[in-house]
């Protein structure tokens, strides 16, 4: 029996644009996904999943030179299809368990590389931010193909994560944005430049603890995501309710098209009270980053 763990994640700035070469900022969350691998006659998973999870599982096991005769027990509170990194946390946890099965002691970088094999099955053309966030603790500045830069937050961020209970399919959303880029290249490149400038400023604000400006930048980033066409009426509702109820800023986190929005609050107390104001039809998590 061998075990592995991956973390849930949240993207604070730059989802989608990061696939096309801008930086993005994200952080791992304390919620975990744990995998236990035990020998079995054939590949079986403890929860019902689609073909794609089986395919990702086979590819990751194969990359370690393992056959697929395993029972994979999955234990987690991370909702799937919600932009909180279920697939990345699964790929990381499975890669760690597979490494442990062979007594390989790999650092988070190597684990993230193996997990990327799974992410490609799940999402087609992922930037690599999700598997990187799921493999290590803390906040990072990320750019595709580069070593991530850790961000030292001046103050912890109190956020409320609201799941609209609708699934967003990352692969389709990423493809939709690629189509938009092809159809309107100038419009897209202009948005990319604005996003990159926003991220440079956001990193400084996170390091200085300028919460008010971080919130404003989240609102501006949400505007860009709306222009990419990845928002939904439910996400718009959550973002607007959060802002009306004292959030410093709110935006989609992850691919959108459903999934989750995040709202930044001044402190823990405010996060608690905002969480209570959100309609009970949605699923609410409070989290602290840093």
Identified binder of ligand MEV from the candidate list 170, 221, 231, 245, rule CB under 6 A: 170
Spatial separation of the C-alpha atoms in residues 244 and 40, rounded to whole Å: 53
Tokens matching residue 107? 């650092």
Contact by Cβ (8 Å): 106, 99: yes
Encode burial over 27-60: b for 16+ CB neighbours within 10 A, e otherwise: bbbebbbbbbbeeeeeeebeeeeeeebbebbbbb
Find the shortest distance in angstroms from Cβ 259 to ligand MEV.
Answer: 9
Q: Which of 62, 130, 219, 279 is catalytic?
A: 130
Token readout for 62 is 């194969």
Chosen residue from 8, 19, 95, 262 binding ligand MEV by CB under 6 A: 19
Nearer Cβ to ligand MEV (18/101): 18
- If one asks whether residue 76 binds ligand MEV (CB under 6 A), the answer comes out as no
Nearest approach, Cβ of residue 159 and ligand MEV (Å): 16
Residue 201's φ and ψ, nearest 5 degrees, are: -70, -40
Is the CB of 70 or the CB of 86 nearer to ligand MEV? 86
User: Residue 43: which of 6, 72, 13 has the closest Cα?
Assistant: 72
**Per-residue interface string for the shown chain with ligand MEV, residues 202-221, x marking contact by CB under 6 A:** --------------------
Site residues (CB under 6 A) for ligand MEV? 11, 15-16, 18-19, 83, 123, 126-127, 129-130, 170, 174, 254-255
The residues annotated as belonging to the active site are: 130
């Amino acid at each position: 029996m061998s075990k592995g763990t991956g973390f849930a994640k949240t993207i604070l700035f730059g989802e989608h644009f990061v696939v096309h070469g801008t930086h993005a900022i994200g952080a791992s969350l304390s919620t975990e996904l744990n995998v236990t691998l035990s020998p079995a006659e054939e590949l079986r998973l403890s929860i019902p999943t689609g073909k794609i999870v089986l395919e990702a599982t086979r590819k990751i096991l194969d990359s370690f030179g393992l056959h697929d005769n395993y029972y994979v027990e999955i234990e987690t509170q991370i909702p799937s299809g919600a932009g909180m990194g279920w697939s990345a946390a699964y790929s990381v946890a499975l890669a760690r368990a597979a490494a442990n099965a062979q007594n390989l002691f790999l650092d988070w970088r190597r684990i993230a590389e193996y997990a990327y094999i799974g992410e490609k099955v799940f999402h087609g053309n992922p930037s690599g931010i999700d598997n990187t966030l799921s493999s290590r603790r803390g906040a990072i500045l990320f750019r595709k193909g580069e070593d991530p830069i850790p961000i030292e937050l001046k103050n912890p961020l109190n956020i409320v994560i609201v799941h609209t209970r609708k699934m967003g399919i990352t692969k389709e959303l990423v493809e939709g944005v690629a189509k938009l880029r092809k159809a309107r290249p100038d419009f897209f490149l202009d948005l990319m430049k604005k996003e990159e400038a926003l991220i440079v400023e956001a990193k400084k604000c996170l390091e200085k603890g300028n919460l008010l400006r971080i919130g404003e930048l989240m609102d501006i980033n949400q505007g860009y995501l709306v222009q990419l066409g990845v928002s939904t009426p439910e996400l718009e509702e959550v973002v607007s309710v959060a802002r009306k109820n004292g959030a410093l800023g709110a935006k989609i986190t992850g691919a959108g098209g459903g999934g989750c929005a995040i709202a930044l609050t001044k402190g823990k107390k405010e996060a608690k009270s905002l969480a209570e104001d959100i309609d009970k039809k949605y699923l609410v998590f409070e989290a602290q980053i840093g």
